[in-house]
Chains A and B, each alone.
Chain A
Amino acid sequence: MPDFTVSSAFQSLQKKLLLAGFCAFFALQVMGNEAPATAHGEDAKAHTEAAGHKAADAHAAGGKFSPGKMIMDHVADAHDWHLFGHVSIPLPVILYTKSTGLKVFMSSAFHHGEHPHEGFRLTEKNKVVWEDASNTEAIYDFSITKNVFAMFIAVGAILLIMISIGRASQRRAGKAPRGLQNLLEPLILFIRDDIARPNIGVKADKFLPMLLTIFWFIFINNLFGLIPIFPGGANVTGNIAVTMVLSLVVFITVTINANSYYWKHIFLPDVPKAMYLILVPIEILGVFLRPFVLMLRLFANITAGHIIILGFFSLIFIFGAMKPGLGFAVSPLSVGFTLFMSLLELLVAFLQAFVFTLLTAIYIGMAVEEHSHAEHH
């Protein structure tokens, strides 16, 4: 097969040439960019600084690229769901004020903040305020925002999946699981056997529905958050309101179910009375600190992941704004890093759901733990 080897050798040579060409092209571009900088020194620096200022200023008018603003826009909540370019899904705005009562209209009425509607105005930071700035009446905003909508989608998906599994388990009672049931059962068993039961003990099964719901809510929302396009991409579990409610649920569960030993441990610990002055405040603080840390951990981890991925992408446009070729040169690196981070986030998505559930189980376990009176501490 001499013919074949020759042609394949030729092909590989072609590839190498192509690669070399690319490298040369990017190198030239970079050098071309650097050349004037070295030549003009101070002048060039002044120029880029000016450009930076201009970008920040110009953004209000929808001009130059500002990574900070872009990232914050993506990470924060919004009143409409931006798809691409100038296309976005309008979402319902639900407002309540004492003077106007309940107001419901679509966010498209604001025209991306350009137009006021019924006396309300959308700010740059996606907040609804009075058009009349002097009005200080409180606005209660119950809008179906991007995060709420994304949460609805994720919750719908969870309900669909889990109820179908629940039904399958009843329909195929006594038979081997298969399909989706077979796929997800190990995770459910993992939560039951490796999270709930070892940490809570005999009462584990009572708290299992809540632990499972928390786990799947966080896990599915984390995964949806990793999908860059609709219906994913919203930063639901990286929103402090969401994690706050989750940890509030944990706090309430722990407080309601805590037994006398738990309270005794906080208010009357088995230490000399003089130590109460230090220990009791610490214990009381701990009661609130635990859910607080739960809230912060999930929020910070997921938001950080989103920010890093968006940051890597921003590199392309930051360099591209300097010179288009530079943007192309950076893009393979940027895409590579983003890919790596996305895979890492996939792990984090599971890990954070797992950690939240595990810590919840531990807190519940601490609260419902039975101690025999003979036991001495």
Chain B
Amino acid sequence: MELVSPSLGLVFWMLVTFSLLLFLLKKFAWKPLLTSLKEREESIENSLQQAENARAEMARLQSQNEALLAEARLERDQIVREAREMKEKIINDAKVIADEEGKKLIARANDEINKQKLAALDELKKEVAGFSVQIAEKLVSKQLDNNAAQQALIAEQLSQLTKGQSQAG
């Protein structure tokens, strides 16, 4: 029976001690401890959240970079393609112009040549006519009795003519 009958003194001291213990621990142990635990938990959570945010930001930046890169690449390709096209166009244009110019030049040259040719022919005709008149004059002025002399005269005149022609030409 002694074991299950609480003694007054022990109840009293237990009440005092436990109340004091509760008060002291609450003030000096549990409060700082639980606050620091809470703070640590919060800081861990925040850190994790920040890490998560940073990762998301990184992923966003990366995808942005990739998009930019792809865009740049596309642009570059376009520029290169355009440049190439332009080059070809320029070359083609130049070719066409040159062709035309050439053709024009050739045509002009041909015209000139034809003109010159016609002029030369005219000249020649005139010369020939003049020569013919001169020769005829000489022939007429000289006595046309000597056949042999006539022949020699004709030959001489002709050679003179050709010489003069070549000198003139």
Residues of A participating in the B interface, judged by any CB pair closer than 8 Å: 72, 75-77, 94, 125, 140-145, 147-148, 151-152, 155, 158-159, 162-163, 165-167, 169-170, 173-174, 185, 188-189, 192, 205, 208-210, 212-213, 216-217, 239-242, 244-246, 249, 299, 303
Contacts and interface: CB of A to CB of B under 8 A. Distances in A.
A166 B37 contact: no
A169 B32 contact: yes
A174 B29 contact: no
B2 A213 contact: no
Nearest to B43: A174
Contacts, number: 127
A151 B3 contact: no
A144 B15 CA distance: 13
B14 A245 contact: yes
Nearest to A79: B9
A144 B18 contact: no
B3 A242 contact: no
B36 interface: yes
Contacts of B28: 162-163, 166-167
Given A240-B3, A249-B18, A142 B25 contact: no
Contacts of B29: 159, 162-163, 165-166
Contact of B9 (A143, A188, A303): A143
B94 to A, nearest CB: 76
9 contacts: A72-B2, A125-B2, A148-B10, A148-B17, A166-B30, A212-B25, A239-B6, A241-B6, A303-B3
Contact of A217 (B21, B34, B35, B39): B21
Given A158-B21, A209-B30, A185 B6 contact: no
Contacts of A210: 22
A74 to B, nearest CB: 12
9 smallest CB-CB distances across A and B, nearest first, come from A241-B6, A162-B29, A241-B10, A169-B36, A166-B29, A209-B26, A245-B14, A166-B32, A209-B30
With most chain B CB atoms within 10 A of its CB, the pick from A165, A166, A205, A244 is A166
Contact of A170 (B12, B14, B22, B32): B32
Contacts of B43: 174
Contact of A163 (B20, B24, B39): B24
Contacts of A209: 22, 25-26, 30-31, 34
Contacts of B18: 213, 217, 245-246, 249
B9 to A, nearest CB: 5
Given A72-B3, A155-B17, A141 B32 contact: no
Contacts of B30: 162, 166, 208-209, 212-213
